[in-house]
Structure 1
């Protein structure tokens, strides 16, 4: 049971951030409300913000080593030191109104000083208790949103591509007095076709608890999504299983959620209030890239989930014929208790406009009800941190997928598992 929960949670994005009891202010970036997990705080008349949030907002590269803090925006360097009012910008000495300080795992810096040092405009809107940051950049005469649209269109024109994924994940689970922390690695190879929808993924998962008492060794699984639905393999079954939930159109859900394709999902997230700006231009293996920074705060992620609920209501409010079906996920309640903070960096080829690399940092927090061994409901909390790297390649090249015509239903699979467990206990 615990191993299955661990495998399930690797597909969720969750965040828990402790916020101190100080006066909070709202944040607006380029006309869009942005509510980071750790809200800006007013201390002695100075608005303090996590330096990581400042870096995301401005598209700057951030380095923290010991107490030294450095922000690099297009080659302009701002240096600060924890506990010191002294700072420097491109070697010129400057004085901050309040020193950087470490609180609840976040390095806080004075918002106005940092943003204005890096050429952003900062305004205070008294009535709304909101700090408004204005900062716009262009590449190739395009805004960040226009660049995302251009890149998305280039990918749609290719129609097919392949992707490699490498992900490290730390997962903590606590239920009552019992708890465990797992360190896991996931490797995946994926092939994606937009029209008609086809997504095929081969994944390998391994990991161990902090004390090595629990291990997941090279668990392999495959997933196929096509016009007929969603199919998967399981480690303990030699064959394909069709995922079916009474009253649920799996194909419609996959199409609305982007078919589990990271690029389609990012495009759909755009309307949910994600923060989008340019990072510093990059170079890999002699090739030049534009870099887009894409941030989803817990609020914008909830907006994204709400939009999915409206588009595919049967997932969260199944029809009467499905009311008695076993549903271990209780999706609507699950999502209400989920907080997610995600940050992508998308590397776009300056010649083809195709996205070739994606880097992801995600923090997640979830509270849910599960049954203990006596079928009594208990609360389980789950926290995780993910770092992932994607590489996209083979654009516009056809690919083959496995034959799933002999797949059994999920209910038949569960019946087989129940029968095998019964035979083993005899």
Structure 2
């Protein structure tokens, strides 16, 4: 048997996704080489090939986080601005009644952008390479042990020890499993198809959300004549979609596209994923904090999953910085309870709103159809409601943490 190696750090992050990368960068920007971070990921190598495209909708809160971390100038090169958002139920032609149209700006700032996840991750990778006190390990975690002062994760022949474990390992979190952490979860019995399409007409920098009878159909601008489509429908419908040829899929998508960007000419980067709702009952445990999808999984109809996760990062990183500044133990329950208290309202309210919208507009009960149209027309007639919607979607509030307001974390 190989000897057991003990690897000690200040912070131990499980998972190497975007939330993990942002948290590491926020702390290393502040502490430089004075804070040691270890990252454990079962699969270090994500798909960074040119064939990999996953569109992310980033809100103004995420833009501000990028500005505070001094990466926005690099990120915005790969971003496509969303200057307007159009929402409709069923299928109607722009810009007639039945459409809810938002000017997607706050104080003359564009409130959201679309970016390819691959480009964002590459920027974060390059930034983190500037620090020599962060290490990433490929390991399968088998055990967790926690005492009053430290947390310990065991793998086949290593023990990782830190003051605090950050669970950023996604919806199937091994940390949640090992701790027996409970979640409120239900299955939407829906599958989403995500793909990139080339179309014949130019994008007017507008995102579309069309509530079809089968489920939400989102069109997100990725370029001059390129968009990302995310369509959610019942598992049964999507099983049929999976069996279509490329030509048949283009025909099916064109029937939903309804000439909004001309005709779809090409479709690729096709992926399918099952949809469910999940909120971890406690986003903390002794010496453990959950962020991102390990803490909450919301319906993708509003594209807010990444933004909610990065607001987790903003709150937690500020608490860690302030704790160290004042000589406190950042892994103590007193600090972690502040994190939970600061996040639960945003997490729960966002998840419930998206869940309610999906259930209301995905319901095929015919008697609700007039009400669906009325709701959209009603909101469209009240500018203050639309302004508040854009403000809420931005994720920025008076009590937001520094990073969300674009302010760097300083000691």
TM range (shorter): under 0.3
User: Greater CA radius of gyration, 1 or 2?
Assistant: 1
Query: Structure with the greater relative contact order (CA < 8 A, sep ≥ 6): 1 or 2?
Result: 2
Q: TM-score, normalised by structure 1?
A: 0.24
TM-score normalized with structure 2 length: 0.25
Is the helix fraction higher in 1 or 2? Answer: 2
